[in-house]
Amino acid sequence: MRLTNTLTGAQEEFVPLREGLVTLYVCGPTVQGPPHFGHARSAIVPDVLRRYLEWTGLRVFHVRNITDVDDKIIARAQEEGRDFFEVGEHFARVWDAQITRLNVLWPHVVPRATGHIPEMIALITRLIANGAAYESAGDVYFRVRAFPEYGKLSNRNVDELRAGARVEPGEQKEDPADFALWKAAKPGEPSWESPWGAGRPGWHIECSAMSTKYLGETFDIHAGGVDLVFPHHENEVAQSEAATGKPFARLWLHNGLLTLGAEKMSKSVGNIISLDEAISTYGGDVLRFFYLAAHYRSPVEFSEERLKEAQGAIERWRTFLRLTAHLDGAGEQDTPETKEFFVRLRAAMDNDLSTPQAHAALFDLVTAGLGHLEAGRDAEAAAARAAFLDAAQRVLGYRLEEQQGGELVGPLVEELLALRQDARGRKDFATSDRIRDRLAELGVVIEDTPDGPRWHLA
């Protein structure tokens, strides 16, 4: 498998540090508000990576953090007259609920920043001891000049950064490019005791402390959105490697952003679309397809038209599964056709996680499966169905479940279908057609099959 490593700017063959085990850290949410549509991509991309690695037989140890102490969280808490912890806890639960609706696998560890203050203090102490950090009036800063490789992830020049840096009021830095590891306590803000006085951690030190605690000082893959490359991930590299003298993450995997017009979707800009609203409107499978239809490194522009196309694609897949449902468990998956499909699937995923190529292979398999079904080749159709489900669900993470409308709607539809069948038995086709047409107006699609009528929501 080859993946693009942001650190080198090149595709590299991925070989785990430890045989059979992949260590994966994903930058999770800063929980100052509900997630928007753009946040879904940074969860779906590493989810597909993990699923594929596990499908190939590797074990993956997956850590995704939650930043629950941050300037934005504190500001919101102060505006709403709430405790910062209450705000963070509320939106962490909102995040978990929304990401679960996208069928994202739960990480093995979900560390919160507030639960790892001792580890952060220990890491900062280590940096001060080796001269890579210094205390100044209760704040602690990382000495950028002490790390000669600073800028290697983002390809930025330290002198240019220094020239463009701004020293905020109250900051007492040796160099404008230096960044905060620990912030002295301010009135009304949360704080913890430390060797430098009461205060709270800076954002960057949080991820370094949590990732190394659970994955070790050197681990395989660090994933996140491309907007985090600088300064967040650059600073993670600098402080981690300055403290340990060892490589930090061996491979950096960054997904492109969702754009709305010319700008990325962002709470600070104000051009956001609620993730909750998008999932409720289209469903988790459609959003997943929307993102995976493009290569993970490419930017994706929000488009209702593209969402409709994704919706149509998912419906085609569901139709194939409906039409072949009676073949579930029949036949052999290992046919020449399915063998060729899995060769294409692995080639696509090994090619820098090319989900568009994987989609193309799935569509070809569906077309072939429908052809077998129409020609009465049930064994071949069953094999295509089994192979499709293995790839679509286990590798790409689609649920592909029919939306039957819940406990109330389902029985009502079934009762109307029974009345329709009774009318058809009496050759009262006018009544039968009225029931079918009325259900269609309500978004219920009926398919008459040799085994009786089936229905699903449009």
- Rounded Cα distance, 232 and 458, in Å: 44
Per-residue model confidence (pLDDT) at position 147: 97
Identity (one letter) of the amino acid at 269? V
Q: What is the mean pLDDT of the chain?
A: 91
**Rounded (5°) CA angle 17-239-38:** 75
Per-residue model confidence (pLDDT) at position 267: 55
Per-residue model confidence (pLDDT) at position 262: 57
Residues 6+ apart with CB under 8 A from 447: 322, 453, 454, 455, 456
- Quick one: pLDDT band at residue 98, thresholds 50, 70, 90? very high
* Exposed e or buried b per residue across 337-367, where buried means at least 16 C-beta atoms within 10 angstroms of its C-beta: ebeebbebbbebbbebbbbebbbebbeebbe
CA distances from 96 to 35, 60, 70, 93, 150 (A): 10, 20, 19, 5, 34
CA distances from 239 to 67, 127, 206 (A): 18, 7, 11
Identity (one letter) of the amino acid at 286? V
Calculate mean pLDDT across residues 284-290.
Answer: 97
Query: For 380-407, how does the pLDDT look when each residue is reduced to its tens digit (9 = 90+)?
Result: 999 999 999 999 999 999 999 865 444 4
Contact 111, 210 (CB under 8 A): yes
* Full set of structural domains in the chain with CATH: 2-255 (3.40.50.620), 275-395 (1.20.120.640), 406-457 (no CATH)
Least confident of 60-64, 216-220, 303-307: 303-307
Per-residue model confidence (pLDDT) at position 407: 41
Per-residue model confidence (pLDDT) at position 345: 98
Determine what percent of the chain is predicted with pLDDT higher than 70.
91
- Rounded Cα distance, 112 and 119, in Å: 12
SS3 179: strand
Least confident of 38-47, 217-226, 327-336, 353-362: 327-336
Per-residue model confidence (pLDDT) at position 166: 66
Check residues 78 and 451 and name the one with the higher pLDDT. 78
Could you tell me which of 300, 399, 307 has the C-alpha nearest to residue 38? 300
- Quick one: pLDDT band at residue 164, thresholds 50, 70, 90? low
Contact 457, 442 (CB under 8 A): no
Least confident of 117-126, 160-169, 306-315, 430-439: 160-169
- Quick one: pLDDT band at residue 408, thresholds 50, 70, 90? very low
Per-residue model confidence (pLDDT) at position 254: 98
- Rounded Cα distance, 346 and 339, in Å: 11
Task: Decide if pLDDT at 449 tops 80.
Answer: no
Beta bridge partners of residue 225, listed in sequence order: 255
- Rounded Cα distance, 199 and 190, in Å: 8
Beta bridge partners of residue 264, listed in sequence order: 259
Least confident of 6-10, 56-60, 348-352, 452-456: 452-456
Kind of pairing between the strands at 249-255 and 219-225? parallel
Calculate mean pLDDT across residues 7-11.
Answer: 98
